[in-house]
């Protein structure tokens, strides 16, 4: 068993589209950032899941969402010699504003952007223990032959792994330090809880990542 100890400003759990973009933004903002992904590539649903047709960046003929998500998909389309729909065509139904991307190329670009932002990417590991410290969090991760202890000031749990969400919200009971979660994962997790568990959550302590931050929607 190999043992590692790390200290970072921001720990992002989950390397899907939301987690990848959150990590890039944190890194570009100057935070020492680590991204932990239980699989072997970034992108989540849009890459590993095969749902490689993002969209809804535009509405009523105008672009309404941009940012890092748009940066990633436009670079992917450009390098793949792809074609965007005519976003100015108001006769198009909203779903025709989606477009196909090369998910394999997207994975490479996403990883490159993380590295350029100074993000440390850790594949094939998952948190199994989270403890509150006086000045942050201590997260223990496990992988094949690997045990990692990460001290961080901020956790961003953007995984759709319900087991991870369970640790952050049931075991920790939503302490006062802010944790950002993936909107879809949170809703799925709520359905798994009884009313007693739900009552333990206090909305003022939770920041839900809006759908606009997820790759399938921006």
Q: What is the mean pLDDT of the chain?
A: 79
- Determine which helix (DSSP H) or strand (DSSP E) holds 130, and give its type and residue range: strand 125-133
Q: Classify 14 as helix, strand or coil.
A: coil
Tokens representing 22?
């959150």
**Residue 137 half-sphere exposure toward CB, CA atoms < 13 A:** 28
Give the pLDDT mean for 91-114: 92
SS3 content of the chain, % helix, strand, coil (to 5): 35, 30, 35
pLDDT value for 130: 86
DSSP state of 170: I
Residue 156 confidence (pLDDT): 85
Domains defined for the chain, CATH in brackets: 1-218 (3.50.50.60)
Element spanning 146, H or E: strand 146-157
Average of pLDDT values for 6-13? Answer: 94
Burial per residue of 164-193, b for 16 or more beta-carbon CB atoms within 10 angstroms, e otherwise: bbebbbeebebeeeebbbbbbbbeebeeee
DSSP 60: T
Residue 24 has pLDDT above 90, yes or no: yes
Residue 44 CA to residue 86 CA, distance in Å, equals: 27
pLDDT tens-digit readout, 62-96: 899 899 999 999 999 999 999 999 988 888 888 88
Average pLDDT (156-177) is 60
Confidence of residue 189 (pLDDT cuts 50, 70, 90): very low
Helix locations, the chain, DSSP H: 17-28, 67-79, 103-116, 162-166, 183-191, 195-199
pLDDT: is 17 or 208 the higher one?
Answer: 17
- C-alpha distances out from residue 185 to 100, 108, 152, Å: 24, 25, 22
Residue 215 has pLDDT above 90, yes or no: no
CA–CA dist 55, 65 (Å, integer): 10
Name the pLDDT band for 211 (thresholds 50, 70, 90): very low
Q: What is the pLDDT of residue 198?
A: 35
Q: How many CB atoms lie within 10 A of CB 89?
A: 10
pLDDT at 167: 63
**Cα 43–45–46 angle (5° rounding)?**
60
The pLDDT tens digits of the residues spanning 149-159 come to: 999 998 888 76
Q: Which tens digits make up the pLDDT trace of 26-65?
A: 999 999 999 999 999 999 989 998 989 998 888 888 899 8
Asked whether the predicted pLDDT for residue 176 surpasses 50, the reply is: no
- Is 126:143 a contact under the CB 8 Å cutoff? yes
Helix (H) or strand (E) holding 13: strand 2-13
Question: Does 180 score more than 60 pLDDT?
Answer: no
Q: What is the pLDDT of residue 128?
A: 86
First-residue to last-residue Cα distance in the chain: 41
pLDDT of res. 129: 86
């Amino acid at each position: 068993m190999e043992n590692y100890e790390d200290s970072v400003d921001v720990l992002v759990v989950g390397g899907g589209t939301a987690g990848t973009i959150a990590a890039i933004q944190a890194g570009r903002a100057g935070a020492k950032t680590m991204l932990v992904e239980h699989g072997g590539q970034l992108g989540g649903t849009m890459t590993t899941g095969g749902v490689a047709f993002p969209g809804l960046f535009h509405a009523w003929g105008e672009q309404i969402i941009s940012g890092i998500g748009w940066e990633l998909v436009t670079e992917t389309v450009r390098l793949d010699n792809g074609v965007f729909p005519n976003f100015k065509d108001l006769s198009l139904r909203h779903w025709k504003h989606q477009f196909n991307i090369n998910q394999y190329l997207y994975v490479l670009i996403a990883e490159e952007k993380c590295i350029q932002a100074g993000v440390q990417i850790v594949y094939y590991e998952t948190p199994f223990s989270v403890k509150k410290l006086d000045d942050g969090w201590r997260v223990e991760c496990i992988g094949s032959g690997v045990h990692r202890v990460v001290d961080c000031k901020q956790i961003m749990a953007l995984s759709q792994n319900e087991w991870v969400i369970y640790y952050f919200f049931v075991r920790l009971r939503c302490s006062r330090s802010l944790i950002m979660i993936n909107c879809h994962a949170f809703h799925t997790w709520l359905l798994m809880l009884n009313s007693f568990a739900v009552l333990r959550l206090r909305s003022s302590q939770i920041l839900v990542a809006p759908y606009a931050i997820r790759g399938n929607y921006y």
